[in-house]
Amino acid sequence: MDYFVLVFLGALWGASYLFIKIGGEQLPPITFVAARTTIAGISLLLVALARREKLPPLGSSLWKWLIAIGLLNSAVPYTLITWGELHVSSGLAAILVGAMPIFTVLLAHWRLHDERLKPRKVVGILIGFAGVVVLFLPDLENGLQWSLVGGAAILAAAISYASAAIVARLHLKSLPHVSVALGQMITASLILIPISLLFDHPWTLSPTPIAVGALVTLAVFGTAFAYLIYYWLIAHVGATRTSLVTYISPVVAVILGAVFLNESLEWNTLVGLILIIAGVGLVTSLSLGGRRAQAVTPVAE
């Protein structure tokens, strides 16, 4: 049963890239993400009320870290991924975000005194970066193109996720997981809604029902519900086994992109996927997996 839930979470996060592709092509990225975080925040608020979990008092110093997490773990990466998927396939986006643990290990080496690079992790980092290079090979050969810029934006989103994980571990360990997720969604939506109103004029937009359905499904299931499943898995099977979802979601995203969006499966996509998964496997140790349970893990769109 536990492993079925693990596969289900991987499928949810993998399918999220498909929903972003469908909805993000009809809604501007900032408006799309503002709606996503607002709907996810409302869903998590209902869960928090049912569990009687409370956010910190408004005067608490924890709010500055919740704002940081709202930016680094939601507003910035969600927007970068949504914009990036306008120029690259949903499968490629998932693979690039899947490299997030590699950046987490690199940042942890500099920011956390008890996380140091070891030879095995260095090899994993090099293999993971080799996978990224392979993914970008066609674009590098053809010069600067929008697909290369879109891929770079998604890679920046992975770095933002990694930064959020470090911030959460350092400053938000005392908060319940649902409260952290709710706090970041609230702060992200409060940041993005005014920008959306100012620049996108969302009242003038006319997305199709399919795009709206993709957005709502992404917000409720791929974001809010996925958080709840993730933390349930940590409690029942442990952080190390739960981290296996990192290997599942990119594969699911590649398959769904090929089936529903007719995205081509080039040799460099498959080789890059294998190299990045291998690199993540090498850098992810038992100790890091245990610590990562205390941090906010990205909702891998």
| pLDDT (tens digit per residue) in 195-216 | 999 999 999 999 999 999 999 9
Average pLDDT, the chain: 89
Between helices 76-84 and 2-24, what is the axis angle to 10°? Answer: 60
CA distance 63 to 180: 10
- Is 234 within 8 Å of 9 (Cβ atoms)? no
Contacts of 227 (CB under 8 A, 6+ apart): 44, 177, 178, 181, 299
CA distance 127 to 170: 28
- Is 131 within 8 Å of 250 (Cβ atoms)? no
Please state the three-class secondary structure of the chain as a single string. CHHHHHHHHHHHHHHHHHHHHHHHCCCCHHHHHHHHHHHHHHHHHHHHHHHCCCCCCCCCCHHHHHHHHHHHHHHHHHHHHHHHCCCCCHHHHHHHHCCHHHHHHHHHHHHCCCCCCCHHHHHHHHHHHHHHHHHHHHHHHCCCCHHHHHHHHHHHHHHHHHHHHHHHHHHCCCCCHHHHHHHHHHHHHHHHHHHHHHHHCHHHCCCCHHHHHHHHHHHHHHHHHHHHHHHHHHHHHCHHHHCCHHHHHHHHHHHHHHHHCCCCCCHHHHHHHHHHHHHHHHHCCHHHHHHHCCCCCCCCC
Each residue's pLDDT tens digit, 68-113: 999 999 999 999 999 999 999 999 999 999 999 999 888 888 877 6
Percent of the chain with pLDDT over 70: 91
Q: What is the pLDDT of residue 295?
A: 43
Each residue's pLDDT tens digit, 113-158: 666 788 888 999 999 999 999 999 887 766 668 899 999 999 999 9
Burial class (CB in 10 A: 0-12, 13-18, 19+), 113: exposed
What pTM was computed for the model? 0.92
CA distance 182 to 54: 10
Judged against a pLDDT cut of 60, whether residue 289 lies above it is answered with no
Nearest to 263 by CA among 271, 273, 255: 255
CA distance 90 to 85: 6
CA distance 177 to 57: 16
Contacts of 35 (CB under 8 A, 6+ apart): 27, 202, 215, 219
Q: What is the pLDDT of residue 294?
A: 43
